[in-house]
Amino acid sequence: TKRHLYLDVIRYMTRLPPAAMPPGRRVSTPEAVAHNVDLYLDAAQRNRVAWLAVSGGSGFGRDREIERLLTDVEEAYVDRIIEIFGADPREAPDAQRAALRCYGALAKAVSREWLADGRLSREQARVLLTESLIAIVGDISAKVLAAGDEVNA
């Protein structure tokens, strides 16, 4: 049906690429992060119009199936980031996963600033995303975890 085709296109556009490290040598975590940010930016640039539609959620209204699909994609990206930093996604605390979902929102905003609005160059987007992720996983996640477990306090 048209609906199934529509959902398949969204699944295709939001699929998580295979785990990637720069070929041929061992790399530091910052190099691995930068390489994976490049892959993210490549995918966004290659599929600019669809990427902006999916990352901004425009035109979807309140479609629960699409929202669920996009939530699953976000969680897969969070798992990937945790793996890049050498940890087991199943053991990541909820607060750390929340911080990484916030990074995902930042990545979407940076994509729009670069691709839609032209306020950032690709290199500026790359630096912003790479350095932000390293900071979130390092300093910020530790501070979020140290702030305690009281949810909705």
Per residue in 78-94, pLDDT (tens digit) is 888 888 877 888 988 88
Distance CA 2, CA 5 (A): 5
Per residue in 24-73, pLDDT (tens digit) is 566 777 888 888 899 889 988 988 887 777 776 545 566 788 888 888 88
Residue 59, both tokens: 């035109």
H/E run at residue 9: helix 2-13
pTM, to two decimals: 0.77
DSSP for 9-32 reads HHHHHTPPPPP---TTS---HHHH
Q: Which residue has the tokens 């295979």?
A: 18
H/E run at residue 86: none
Per residue in 91-139, pLDDT (tens digit) is 888 888 988 999 989 998 999 999 999 999 999 999 999 999 988 887 7
- The answer to whether the beta carbons of residues 36 and 85 sit under 8 Å apart is no
